[in-house]
Amino acid sequence: MNTQDDYQRLETIEQYFNGSLSVDEMANFENALKNDFDFSKEVSDYQKLTNMIKEITIEQNIIATLDKLEQEEPITPLKKKASFVTLFPYLSGLVAACLIFVLYASFSVIQLPGSENDLTIVRDVDVSILSPVEKKVFDSFYAGQSYLAEGQFQKAVQSFQVVLKNNNLRPYFKEATQWHLVLAYLKSGQIQEANHLYDELSSCNDCVYPIGKIDKAKLWWQIFWAKIF
């Protein structure tokens, strides 16, 4: 296949993910994936972008549905007793919103701040002048992130625990490590540890690590679900 023509390349990538390539085209595509690093990266970036768009769309639908339900006029005992037919649209909307959230929270990826851009973790630290102890701490954190991405969750737990043994961590970096450890605990099957640390972080009133409400809710749900099963 011609990976030099921008338009054709993008069209072929779209067809690949849509499953509309012929057998020969698929073979050429996969061969290009193996032998053309730039093309392989472009395909990977395209997939990340489409997945991100899907997640944003789902999040927006969830938020819009929940906002709509919150704006519904509440039913009070003083009002005439409503029939099932009257309540059905409200109940069905609530059930649909809950179902969407359950499916989304159960299977979507939890994206912690800093996972994509490690500079947000380092912030104002000049990594070129780190002491050996500080360098070990940062190296352990990044190793933990790598282990998470590679599915080596127990090693990720151990790496983040090494970081937290240091008593001089900045609050932002400490909280970042703790949230990553919650995720590592969850993925490694250490559910009670994940739940305990999650509760501890959630009760913090002066936290500075900005985990989003949606990702926080997904993390809570996946811990809750794991405790049940």
**pLDDT value for 118:** 46
- CATH number at 156 reads 1.25.40
Co-location of 188 and 218 in the same domain: yes
Q: What is the 3-state secondary structure (H, E, C) of the chain?
A: CCCCCHHHHHHHHHHHHHCCCCHHHHHHHHHHHHHCHHHHHHHHHHHHHHHHHHHHHHHHHHHHHHHHHHHCCCCCCCCCCCCHHHHHHHHHHHHHHHHHHHHHHHHCCCCCCCCCCCHHHHCCCCHHHCCHHHHHHHHHHHHHHHHHHHCCHHHHHHHHHHHHCCCCCCHHHHHHHHHHHHHHHHHCCCHHHHHHHHHHHHCCCCCCCCCCHHHHHHHHHHHHHHHHC
Q: Could you say which of 67, 85, 107 is where a domain stops?
A: 107
Q: Could you say which of 38, 73, 107 is where a domain stops?
A: 107
pLDDT by 10s per residue, the chain, length 229: 555 566 677 788 888 888 888 988 899 988 988 888 888 878 887 777 666 656 656 666 666 665 665 565 554 554 444 454 554 555 555 555 555 555 555 566 777 875 444 445 555 556 566 678 888 888 899 899 999 989 999 999 999 999 999 998 888 889 999 999 999 999 999 999 999 999 999 888 888 888 877 788 888 888 988 887 7
Q: Is the pTM of this model over 0.75?
A: no
Which domain covers residue 65, as residue numbers? 6-107
Q: Is residue 16 part of a domain?
A: yes
Q: Could you say which of 107, 138, 156 is where a domain stops?
A: 107
**pLDDT value for 37:** 81
Co-location of 132 and 72 in the same domain: no
Token pair, residue 169, equals 């961590």
Co-location of 102 and 34 in the same domain: yes
Q: Which residue has the tokens 């899907």?
A: 54
Co-location of 137 and 219 in the same domain: yes
